[in-house]
Amino acid sequence: MANVLYLFFIMLMLVENPTASSTSGDGFRLTLTHVDSAAGSSFTLAERIQRAVRRSYSRKRAIEAKRNVVVPVSYGGESEYLVSFGIGSPALPVTAILDTGSDLIWTQCVPCFESIPQPSPFYNSFDSSSYSRIPCSNPFCTDASSILSFCASSEGDLCLYWTSYGDETRTRGLLATETLHFGDGSSIHGVIFGCGFWNNGTLSNSTGIVGMGRGRFSLPAQLNPPRFSYCFTSINRSATSHLFLGTKASLGGGKRGGGGGSIGSTPFIPNPQNPSFYYLSLIGISLGGTRLPIPPSAFQLNPDGSNGTIIDSGTFMTILNQPGYDVLRKELIKQARLPLAESPEQGFDLCFSLKKRKSPPRMPELVFHFDGADMRFQRDKYMIYGPEEGLICSAIAGTDGLSILGNYQQQDMHILYDLKANVLSFVPANCDRF
């Protein structure tokens, strides 16, 4: 309690800046860095894949842990991609976790009573002319849909927040607005963010989290129009990936990136139990032109909010509910006609031995049938080739419960999230040509 009163005292001393201007309607383009590709990283491709596989299972467990808590919990933690931008005026460079599984944008702030190690200085509101506190009268101050926010009017009209994540990362602090600056010289004003004074857990060597979920606190929800898109380059290439916000989030008629193919669109499905996630209606799977006999209920969202299928930028592997995965696994073994590896690589459930081959074999086309659209994957979008190990492994695994379309299957595909139309659209693309 003494620490809380101390925070209130310090907040009362902050200078109240004029109300920040409304969110800009312009579009923005940002580059994304893979968490294992940061400067100074010496991981080999095989090591990066193994680390990403381990994070996939950790993220799956953390996402499902949300269903058993009372306070709003999101997932951040060890995600796959980091985004760099500037905050405040003058701009302070920050690098944050890009998380489609949460809503709040936040960074660690001075005074930091509890902090997580980060590679750059803490944000200090005293140094920014564009910082502005959110008063208790602001509707965001009492919105508990995805974070716990509340008014402390007796302590100086302060809007405080508290949220935790599935990996037990936690942040507490003050809700405010700021200006965000991007690498192309553009900026957006009046962005609501969390200034974290008590933070603990893990941030993957970053300064905070950028929530890209469906809730009103997320960055895309604060844009005009409320949409974003990304294009992930292949994990075995050094080219940067890209994130597009607002008006620049457009598939361009399927021509941007020159990947060919037509645009597919499928609606998002609401889940009141987990409102931040992007649920999709996965109705079936085909392999090599054969529609698999998977029970219709395998990927469906249950009335209690369990199961279902989400698309997630922060999970590497695709993880399917076990009944559906078992059918796919059996058919893949049948059609591949390759010897099974005696001991699959760590984290992989299914690997084939290629010790007598000098090149990867042909594999059947995999198709995920969504409501209104088919997402097609050639060999390199669902199999991982390890020539040194003499293996080719499936980047799809099975566990009970929630199914997740991971980012390995999203490589070289331009994917657009439209929060206003409530639709996900996608088209094949050469993401290193953006």
Q: Does a cis peptide bond (omega within 30 degrees of 0) precede residue 111?
A: yes
Positive or negative, the Cα torsion across 425, 34, 328, 392? positive
Structure tokens at 419: 């929060």
Cα 324 to Cα 59: distance, rounded to the nearest angstrom:
20
DSSP label at 277? S
Cβ count near 285 (within 10 Å): 22
The Cα–Cα gap between 349 and 6 comes to 52
Alpha-carbon distance of 434 to 415, in angstroms, equals 13
Phi first, then psi: what are they for 361, rounded to 5°? -75, 165
Return all residues near 148 (Cβ < 8 A) that are at least 6 apart: 71, 72, 161, 162, 163
Q: Which of 99, 103, 167, 418 is catalytic?
A: 99
Residue 55 and residue 418: Cα distance in Å, rounded?
27
- Contact in structure between 392 and 314 (CB atoms under 8 Å): no
| Residue 312 annotated in active site | yes
DSSP assignment letter at 153: G
Rounded distance, CA 363 to CA 413, Å?
Answer: 20
Calpha distance 118→32 (Å, rounded): 18
Distance CA 140, CA 367 (A): 41
Whole-angstrom distance, CA of residue 247 vs CA of residue 220 = 11
End-to-end Cα, the chain, rounded Å: 51
Phi, psi at 209, each rounded to 5°: -135, 140
Determine whether 167 is an active site residue: no
Which of the residues 167, 312, 412, 418 is marked catalytic? 312
> 6-37 b/e with 16+ CB inside 10 Å = b?
ebbeebeebeebeebeebbeebbbbbbbbbbb
Type of residue found at 278: Y
Strand-pair category, 309-311 with 81-87: unpaired
Taking the C-alpha atoms of residue 236 and residue 232, their distance in angstroms, rounded to an integer, is 11
The residues annotated as belonging to the active site are: 99, 312
